Amino acid sequence: MPENETDETTPAHRVCGTMPVHRRLLTEDPSYAVARDAVENRAFAFEQGLRTPARVGVTVIPVVVHVVHHTSEQDIGDAQILSQIDVLNQDYRMLNADVSQVPTVWQPLVADCRIEFRLASQDPDGAPTGGITRTRTATDTFGMDDAIKFTSGGGQDAWPADQYLNFWVAPRLEDPSVGEILGYAQFPGGPTATDGVVIAHTFVGTTGTARAPFHLGRTATHEVGHWLNLFHIWGDDGQGCSGSDFVADTPNAGGPNFGTPAFPHVTCNNAPDGDMFVNYMDYTDDVGMFMFTQGQAARMDATLEGPRSSFLTL
Ligand SMILES: [Zn+2]
Annotation marks residue 8 as catalytic: no
Cβ neighbors of 2 (< 8 A, separation 6 or more) are: 73
Q: How far apart are the CA of 137 and the centre of ligand 1, in A?
A: 26
List, as one string, the DSSP characters of 194-223.
G-SEEEEGGGSSSSTT--TTS-SSHHHHHH
Q: Is residue 183 within 8 Å of 198, Cβ to Cβ?
A: yes
Burial 284-299 (b: 16+ CB within 10 A, else e): bbbbbbbbbbbbbbbb
For residue 183, the CA-to-ligand 1 centroid distance in Å is 8
- Answer positive or negative: Cα dihedral of 64, 69, 74, 75: positive
Rounded to the nearest angstrom, the distance between the alpha carbon of 220 and the centre of ligand 1 is 10
Are 313 and 270 spatial neighbours (Cβ–Cβ below 8 Å)?
no
> pLDDT tens across 29-80, in order?
999 999 999 999 999 999 999 999 999 999 999 999 999 999 999 999 999 9
Q: Whole-prediction pTM value? A: 0.97
pLDDT at position 8 is: 67
Q: Which of 5, 47, 223, 305 is catalytic?
A: 223
pLDDT tens string 172-220: 999 998 899 999 999 999 999 999 999 999 999 999 999 999 999 999 9
**C-alpha of residue 285 to centroid of ligand 1, in Å:** 13
Question: Which of 80, 61, 53, 57 is CA-nearest to residue 69?
Answer: 80
| DSSP label of 107 | G
Q: For the chain, where are the E strands, in sequence order?
A: 59-69, 115-119, 132-136, 165-170, 174-175, 179-180, 183-185, 197-200, 258-259, 283-284
Share of the chain above pLDDT 90, in %: 96
Nearest-10 Cα torsion for 309, 310, 311, 314: 140
Q: Is 164 helix (H, G, I), strand (E, B) or coil?
A: coil
